[in-house]
Structure 1
Amino acid sequence: MLQKENISDQELIAMCLRGKDAGYTGLYNRYARGIFNSISRLVAHSAEAEDILQETFCNVFSDQKRLMQINSFEAWVRRMAINKSISHLRRKKLLFSDLDNYEFMAEADYDIREDEIFESRVEDVRRCIDELSDGYRTILTLYLFEKMPQDEIALTLGLAPSTVRTQYHRAKKRILVSLKDKAYYE
């Protein structure tokens, strides 16, 4: 049995390249949970997220040439999984509306009181994020959890940067309103 701390990703990759199951298992066990969490924040259904995770790792392990050239295994797999998740959402006809013709809230207009969201319970925030439309949830997740810059999100989703900023701010506002409503009824 392999010990997580004692063997590097490069050693596990070398084992994969030699066809050793322990290399595949070691990499999968090391990263599958975190990658699944990234996918499931984008794709609401856990069965679909599991399918994307499996497809991602199958593609990773079948691309031997690329596997030999990887500097950061986790970053490569996470990026591949996010791209597969976004493709999945597009196949489901998820539409990201382009809001170039609409006003959007500038950073200068940001209300610091919106940070009250962080005083809420984590479960409530998760529930509110899950209740967002797919478009809002995708942009919020990519920005907050995957630490993807808004310009990169715009490029990845084929949107104007102003649309990404607008949808991000609207998503935060919806979460805040939902949390305030929940607090009111408690």
Structure 2
Amino acid sequence: MTPIEKQNDQQLIAMCQANNDLGFSELYRKYAKRIYNSIHRIVSHTGEAEDILQETFLTVFKEIDRLSNVASLESWIKRIAINKAISHLRKRKIQFAEIDSVDVIEAEKEYDPVENEIFESKVEDVRKSIDFLPQGYKTVVCLYLFENIPQEEIASMLGISHNTVRTQYHRAKKKILLSLRDKIYHE
């Protein structure tokens, strides 16, 4: 492990604030993959996600002097990325719409290879179901479930009411469960 790999966030921020290229490189290396995954879940397009990732880190490097709480570095970067992804969707004129009804998937209780294979198949089916949601629903689901952003904050980020977010999440969940209802799993 090189000395730079041992740097904590506070040291990385100080290096970036001093315009140290090694600090910028290490900060990018440390967070780029996780931030990319968050962006990709929202925009679902590799090229667009890569572009937004680059824009995100350009903003991070320009605005790093404004970061006041070192402990929240990753969430600060993620918030910039999510805002950029949402702005990108708005430019594409993605509408946040509405849909219909569902059931619930039971959680797995014990590990067993066969059950694990079934579980992984279900996870893939859920992922595919989320991918087929209208973009507005998909954005709400990804922000709420994968990014753990509260619904009130999602509403603020998207410029829609909390009730709309709640309705879209509920309808997206129903749509996902409806698409899974017809799947037959050998349990």
Letter in 2 for 1:179: L
Counterpart residue identity of residue 133, structure 1:
P
Any conservation in 1 of the 2:42–2:139 contact (CA below 8 Å)?
A: yes
Higher relative contact order (CA 8 A, sep 6+): 2
Q: Provide the residue aligned with 2:137 in structure 1.
A: 136
Determine whether 1:75 maps to 2:65: no
Give the Cα–Cα distance (whole angstroms) in 2 for the partners of residues 24 and 160 of structure 1: 37
- On the 8 A contact 2:52/2:85 being kept in 1, the answer is yes
Taking the aligned partners of 2:160 and 2:20, their CA distance within structure 1 comes to 43
Instruction: Check the 8 A contact 1:39/1:82 in 2, yes or no.
Output: yes
Letter in 2 for 1:37: N
Length, aligned pairs only: 172
Q: Which runs of 5+ in 2 are unaligned?
A: 109-118
Per-residue CA deviation, residues 6-54 of structure 1 (Å, 9 max, x unaligned), is 2101111111222222111111111111111110110011100000000
Using the aligned pairs only, state the percent identity. 54
Counterpart for residue 108 of structure 1: none
- Aligned match of 1:125: 126
Q: Is the contact made by 1:117 and 1:176 (CA closer than 8 Å) also made in structure 2?
A: no
The alignment's TM-score, normalised by the length of structure 2, stands at: 0.82
1:138 Cα offset (Å): 0.4
Q: Distance in 1 between matches of 2:155 and 2:107?
A: 25
- Cα distance 1:155–1:180, how it changes in 2: closer, same or farther (>3 A)? same
Q: Which runs of 4+ in 1 moved over 3 A?
A: 1-4, 115-120
Q: Quote how far apart the aligned CAs of 1:81 are.
A: 0.3
What's the TM-score, normalizing by structure 1?
0.83
Partner of 1:54: 54
* Structure 1 residue runs without a partner (length 5+): 106-110
